[in-house]
Amino acid sequence: MSTQMKEAKDRLIFRHTNNRKGRNTAITPENSSMKHLVYGRIILDKEKPNVTFSTGTLESGLICLSGECTITAAGQTIEIGRYDSIYLPRETEVEIKTESAVDLVECSAEVEKKYPLQVVRYADVEKDSSLKFKTGGSANTRTVNITLGKNVEAGRILAGFTTSEPGHWTSWPPHEHAAMLEELYVYYDMPAPAFGVQFVYTNPDEPEFVGVVRDGDAVIMPEGFHPNVSVPGHPINFVWMMAAHREVEDRQFGVVTVQPGFDQGGSGLEASRK
């Protein structure tokens, strides 16, 4: 492997992934150290109102961050709005159209089996205390939303989003799950001057990544603990997406190892296991 290719594979942060209209793929196993996970963004408006694509060998999940659109796939036509999600099977032709504007996060991974198309309404997520819950303490309060979790039949992908209280930590206590799942964070709804600081480390004395993250940035976590913190006066908001190493078998949210020394009070994700 060339030095340039190795540097690309070792890269953990991808900046400004939301700065282009249309459907754009930012992170793949080919340009990162991800083994399965693919992250893309679909941003449409009246100038670019539609996009068509095939999922190929990938299963895909879409989370609507803002706006609304109509999705035609697998013989169905579905309208989705903010925080709604849809699971798209492999080998599916997809058309997405909007009459206004829409911003979709796309989470994908290669799978062997074809699972059914499924629509997740955020209104239903809000009613389930194992899919939406507040967790943390005086300095690490956040709300976790699981939109593509145990409520969806899928092979590898899990996805949702987390919003913190201003100035608070999230993913705290630090945890990791690299034996089962790889993960990445995409930061959203953090207009300037808001920013956060993301950590990724297997050894806390020699972190693989410590850096400022802003709206549209993405950080990958192929392994290691990955806490983050927002600046005072602003929350840190991020979509998290994961891909299981073993199809179906490893697709489990909330099964984590907490960093020794911070493991007295649990992981903060216990509600998801109910």
The full DSSP string for 16-65 is -TTSSSEEEEEE-TTTSS-SS-EEEEEEE-SSS-EEEEE-TTEEEEEEEE
pLDDT for 5: 42
Contacts of 79 (CB under 8 A, 6+ apart): 68, 69, 70, 71
pLDDT in tens, 131-148: 999 999 999 999 999 999
Q: Edge to edge, what strands does the sheet with 93-97 contain?
A: 50-54, 93-97, 69-73, 76-80
pLDDT category of residue 8 using cuts at 50, 70 and 90? low
If one counts every other C-beta atom within 10 angstroms of the C-beta of residue 133, the result is 18
pLDDT for 265: 83
pLDDT for 198: 98
Q: What share of the chain is helix, strand, coil (3-state, %, to 5)?
A: 5, 45, 50
Segment (H or E) for 4: helix 3-10
Say what percent of the chain tops pLDDT 70: 97
| Beta bridge partner(s), residue 119 | 86
Segment (H or E) for 184: strand 181-187
pLDDT in tens, 122-131: 999 999 999 9
Indicate the SS3 state at residue 237: strand
Structural domains of the chain sorted by starting position, each given as residue range(s) with its CATH number in brackets: 12-262 (2.60.120.10)
CA distance 131 to 171: 16
Say what percent of the chain tops pLDDT 90: 94
pLDDT for 273: 86
Q: Report which DSSP code applies to 272.
A: G
Mean pLDDT of the chain: 96
Q: Which residues in 249-274 are b (16+ Cβ under 10 Å) and which e?
A: ebbbbbebebbeeeeeeebbbebbee
Contacts of 82 (CB under 8 A, 6+ apart): 64, 65, 66, 67, 68, 122
Sign of CA dihedral 221, 167, 26, 108: positive
CA distance 175 to 172: 7
Indicate the SS3 state at residue 144: strand
pLDDT for 163: 98
Segment (H or E) for 164: strand 157-164
pLDDT for 7: 55
∠ CA 181-187-189, rounded to 5°: 140
Task: Give the mean pLDDT of 218-231.
Answer: 98
pLDDT category of residue 10 using cuts at 50, 70 and 90? confident
pLDDT higher than threshold 90 for residue 9 = no
Q: 11 vs 274, which has greater pLDDT?
A: 11
pLDDT in tens, 18-76: 999 999 999 999 999 999 999 999 999 999 999 999 999 999 999 999 999 999 999 99
pLDDT in tens, 205-223: 999 999 999 999 999 999 9
∠ CA 120-237-268, rounded to 5°: 80
CA distance 159 to 120: 12
H helix count then E strand count, the chain: 2, 23
Task: Give the mean pLDDT of 78-91.
Answer: 98
pLDDT category of residue 274 using cuts at 50, 70 and 90? confident
